[in-house]
Structure 1
Amino acid sequence: MRKANKVCDIFCFNETKVEKIKSELLKDETMLELAEVFKVISDKNRAKILFSLKDNELCVCDISHILGISISAVSHQLRILRNNKLVKFRNEGKIVFYSLPDNKLINLLEEGLKFLKDK
Structure 2
Amino acid sequence: MHDGIPGFAMPHPDDVRRAAESLRLLADPTRIKILWALLHGEESVACLAELVGAAPTAVSQHLAKLRLAGLVEGRREGTFIYYSAGDGVRALLTEALRAGAPAASSR
TM-score of the aligned structures, taking structure 1 as reference length: 0.75
Deviations 1:5-49 (A, max 9, x none): xxxxxxxxxx4xx2338x511133321221111111221111110
**One-letter code of the match for 2:27?**
S
* 2:34 aligned with 1:37: no
TM-score, normalised by the number of residues in structure 2: 0.82
Shift of 1:118: 5.9
The residue aligned with 2:84 is 99
Partner of 1:56: 41
Which has the greater radius of gyration? 1
Quote how far apart the aligned CAs of 1:70 are: 0.8
Distance 1:89 1:100 in 2: 9
- Of all paired residues, the percent bearing the same amino acid is 29
| Runs of 4 or more consecutive aligned structure 1 residues displaced over 6 Å after TM superposition | none
Residues 70-81 of structure 1: pairs in structure 2 closer than 5 A? 70-81=55-66
CA RMSD of aligned residues (A): 2.0
SS in 2 for 1:72: helix
- The gaps in structure 1 that reach 5 residues or longer are 1-14
Q: Which has the higher contact order (CA 8 A, sep 6+)?
A: 2
Tell me the equivalent position of 1:5.
none
Matches within 5 A, 1:8-19: 15=1, 18-19=2-3
Size of the aligned set, in residue pairs, is 102
Helix, strand or coil at the partner of 1:91: strand
- For residue 113 of structure 1, what is the aligned residue in structure 2? 97
